């Protein structure tokens, strides 16, 4: 008798369905699926772009990024 009891796992989906309703759960499932597809597509595009770009060009683009260090002047009241 704990959280892993099969009776608890049967009650949880019933309560979730009653709280959210079947229509919202259906929309949530399709939205989650589209999000995962978009993430996978973006990852595949990023990998294909990085494999096309040679290493020298990658190093050059990384070296061209500069950081500017500055200090703002103090305001007098």
CA quadruple 27, 28, 31, 33: dihedral sign: negative
Res. 9 pLDDT band, cuts 50 70 90: confident
23's tokens: 């229509």
Question: Taking phi first (over 0 means left), then psi (-120 to 50 degrees means alpha), and beta for anything else, what does residue 48 get?
Answer: alpha
Q: Could you state, in order of their start, the residue ranges of all structural domains in the chain?
A: 22-58
**Residue 2, pLDDT score:** 65
**Residue 58, pLDDT score:** 57
List pLDDT tens digits, range 24-71.
888 888 899 999 999 999 988 877 776 655 555 555 656 566 667 777
């Amino acid at each position: 008798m704990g959280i892993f009891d099969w009776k608890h796992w049967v009650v949880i989906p019933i309560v979730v369905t009653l709280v959210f309703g079947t229509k919202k759960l259906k929309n949530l499932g399709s939205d989650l699926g589209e999000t995962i597809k978009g993430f996978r597509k973006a990852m595949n595009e990023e990998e294909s772009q990085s494999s096309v770009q040679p290493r020298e060009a990658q190093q050059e683009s990384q070296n061209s990024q500069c950081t500017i260090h500055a200090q703002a002047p103090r305001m007098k009241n």
